[in-house]
């Protein structure tokens, strides 16, 4: 299967998760990084999910799945341990709604990649469903390769890029944007020397003005 990868804005959209086990917890933790409005449909939930519910982060309907539970949902996760229930969720899903089945059976509108998040820096991995175990392993490598300092690094790049776009056009703009990716900048961030980055940026901008 050749999937189309994308990063979706699902803020304020309704997302329904059918099932409250470990896989539901995994999906919820990924979804909690957004401002989507989450509802779990399940007779039981794990301890961690119960905590999120107590903290008011999502709504729990403590019941077995019924088709009406999907009303107005943009994304639907069928993550129960019962294939018949997942089939019923699939049957109740309208053509305009997007369905993910944790058992990878039947209709598959999307699958979930592993995600490494460092602020606005996001790396995703998938094997298109071939080997979730490999996906998980590669994610661990990426977590090491892209440490927490990438959040600050990308935040600096964003601000610097904004300044460059405001002040320059054409070749100068292109040249400065390319220079911004000098590995020295990343090294300064990693070493906690953010002021060096700022000074370097202001000097480079000053030289071109
Ligand atoms: C990435 C991640 C994100 C997430 O869960 O959101 C994710 N699976 C993760 C881990 C993982 N899942 C499984 C293992 C055990 C090892 C193994 O089986 O290989 C491990 C490893 C572990 O836990 O370390 C078992 C498993 N997974 C699926 C099935 C059904 C089937 O294949 O038939 C079964 C068998 C169930 C059974 O035994 O019956 C199906 C899917 N799992 C996917 C995603 C989608 C394709 C991803 C891709 O393209 O690679 C897809 C198709 C659907 C979907 O769920 O979207 C998450 C890593 C999170 C992280 O590390 O942060
Ligand atoms: N995608 C993945 O990463 C991945 C990994 C492991 C397993 N799986 C698949 O996901 C399924 C779920 O795994 P799990 O570990 O979360 O299982 P689990 O047993 O921990 O949880 C299953 C949940 O489904 C709920 N449920 C059962 N019947 C229901 C109904 N009628 N209506 C609503 N909820 C109902 C249960 O109450 C429970 O909360 C597995 O059976 C497997 O097919 C996927």
Number of domains in the chain: 3
pLDDT score of 149 more than 90? yes
Q: Are residues 74 and 58 in the same domain?
A: yes
Q: How far apart are CA 46 and CA 197, in angstroms?
A: 45
79 lines ligand 2 (CB under 6 A): yes
| 196: β partners | none
Question: Which CATH number belongs to the domain containing residue 143 in this structure?
Answer: 3.30.160
Q: Are residues 61 and 73 in the same domain?
A: yes
Pairing of strands 14-18, 98-101: unpaired
* Domain containing residue 193: 149-208
pLDDT in tens, 40-77: 999 999 999 999 999 999 999 999 999 999 999 999 99
* Ligand 1 binding pocket mutation candidate from 132, 135, 137, 139 (most atoms within 8 A of CB): 132
Pairing of strands 14-18, 37-41: parallel
Ligand 2: residue whose CA is nearest its atom 20: 21
Residue 40 φ/ψ, nearest 5 degrees: -105, 135
Q: How confident is the model at residue 153 (pLDDT cuts 50, 70, 90)?
A: very high
Q: Are residues 72 and 102 in the same domain?
A: yes
Q: How far apart are CA 191 and CA 193, in angstroms?
A: 6
Residues 6+ apart with CB under 8 A from 81: 19, 21
| Dihedral sign for Cα atoms in the order 21, 27, 33, 34 | negative
Q: Are residues 106 and 8 in the same domain?
A: yes
Q: Are residues 32 and 82 in the same domain?
A: yes
């Amino acid at each position: 299967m050749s999937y189309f990868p994308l990063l979706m804005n699902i803020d304020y959209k309704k997302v329904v998760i059918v099932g409250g086990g470990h896989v539901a917890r995994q999906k919820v933790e990924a979804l909690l990084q957004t401002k989507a409005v989450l509802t779990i449909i399940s007779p039981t939930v794990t301890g961690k999910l119960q905590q999120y519910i107590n903290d008011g982060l999502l709504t729990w309907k403590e019941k077995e799945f019924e088709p009406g539970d999907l009303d107005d949902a943009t994304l639907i996760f069928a993550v129960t341990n019962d294939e018949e229930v997942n089939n019923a969720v699939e049957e109740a899903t309208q053509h305009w709604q997007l369905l993910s089945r944790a058992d990878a059976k039947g209709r598959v509108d999307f699958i979930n990649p592993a995600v490494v998040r460092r602020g606005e820096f996001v790396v995703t991995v998938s094997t298109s469903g071939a080997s979730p175990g490999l996906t998980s392993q590669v994610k661990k490598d990426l977590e090491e390769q892209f440490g927490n300092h990438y959040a600050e690094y990308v935040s600096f790049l964003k601000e610097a890029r904004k300044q460059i776009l405001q002040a320059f056009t054409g070749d100068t703009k292109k040249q400065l944007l390319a220079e911004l990716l000098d590995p020295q900048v990343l090294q300064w961030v990693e070493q906690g020397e953010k002021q060096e980055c700022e000074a370097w940026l202001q000097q480079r901008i000053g030289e071109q003005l």
